[in-house]
Amino acid sequence: MALKLQVLRWSFLAAVAGSVIAAQSTDSSALPPGILLLSRVKRHVNATLNQLPSYACLENINRLVRESPKKPIRGLDALRLEVVVIHDRELFSWPDDQNAFRDDIALPGLSSTGQFYATAKALFDPNSAAEIHYAGQEQFNGVPAARYDYSISSMFYRARLNVDGRTATVGISGSFWADPATASLLRLTEKEDNIPDELDTRSVTTVVDYGRLLLGGRPFVFPQTAVVTLVRANGAESQNLIEFTHCRQYSVESHVGSTVAVSAPAPNASAAIEFQIPPGLVVPVSLSQPIQVSRLHPGDPIHGVLHSDLSYKHTLIAPQGAVLTGRVRALIQNHDLDRTFLTLGCEFTDLSFTDSSGLRHHAPFYAFLRDFTALPGVSRQVSRTQVYRDINRNDWWIDKSQTESLAPPELPGVATLYLDAGRTTLPKGFLFDWVSARFPHNH
């Protein structure tokens, strides 16, 4: 049975609802724990949402299904869409669809909207009707974070849930985590409440993790990953694992019926000449400066250079030394598989160089990691093998082994490395081998 989840959200009675968190005393020492930080978080998130330019990202979706609780979850397919946010609207497009964006794309199976903008806007808007309660401080990816629990009644905020063509209006509840030092949003969870029986759905939950990136030269805290899970009444489960990559600024070009055409910002006199890297090329990239893990923060810029000339059919595409730029996508302290290690995600997004005549050239970096320099304490996968004893059909004891592995998803422009606790540096010259792919849109 095809499952479709379409969540459309809008504020309701905001003028009369107001904010549920109000200081009852001008003496900050008399305020309950977390109230002052909550005020900072609201201001920070609202400022971010209000200052965001129109933007687009690639939405990389791995879809999983489980027919019953007794069966293992399995991969269904992998999709890539483009999503843009323009004037508070989330719009979607298939790759190579001539930049025509729509409010949603019909998909068999589980699909969803709202991870980018709508939920955060409804929760942190100054007129939000959310009930928010401080739940204490917890560790989040190895750093202290303040947790808040929230709920928004369907009386004041309507989430329309559509499953198999049956629709209901529901409320939402969940939690969010914020960095006490910066008031930045780290994670936001959402659960649809009071789902009617006729939708044959036990639960719908969404978890969004945020990361820091640059848009238009300014830093923003931005959705980076999302997990959407739908569980049917009989225990069947559909799950979407979503990763947002290659986020960039856009401008509206025109409106055509129910679609919106968008384009990159208009070039100016100093803009670079745009080009595309042909697909199927091996692209060696070396770090132009060492990465000191102890000094890193998610969102920090990273830099590399082409290790050799990049040519296609005897034509030079980009010279050795052309610069690649990107950011630290992830920096997570792990305590899985009976060991402690660090997950380091490096996302390269742009390739640029200046030719002999002084003209700048730029291309989006769209490639998939093939390999990297062999270095002690650095790997692409973490595994643990357990040996245990079992009895075979002849009642003999036999030794068996079971291997658990942790491997990253394959994402364009993203190199995910697992570093042992003793590995603190990736040296200058550390080499990544990529294979280029065709960028979904030709801008």
Please, what are the domains in the chain?
Answer: 6-263 (2.50.20), 273-436 (2.40.128)
Residue 186 pLDDT exceeds 80: yes
**Residue 8 confidence (pLDDT):** 39
Q: Taking CA 16 as the corner, what is the angle to CA 12 and CA 19, rounded to the nearest 5 degrees?
A: 90
- Listed in sequence order, the residues at least 6 apart from 54 whose beta carbon sits closer than 8 Å to its beta carbon are 84, 85, 86, 87, 249, 250, 251, 252, 262
Overall average pLDDT of the 137-148 stretch: 89
pLDDT at 256: 41
Comparing 162 with 82, the larger pLDDT belongs to 82
Residue 11 has a pLDDT of 32
Give the rounded percent of residues in the chain with a pLDDT score beyond 70.
Answer: 77
Kindly state the average pLDDT of the residues 291-300: 88
> pLDDT: is 301 or 98 the higher one?
301
Is 311 a residue whose pLDDT tops 90?
yes
**pLDDT tens-digit map of 374-391:** 999 999 887 765 665 567
Q: Out of 37-51, 265-279, 326-340, pick the least confident.
A: 265-279
The DSSP bridge partners found for residue 321 are: none
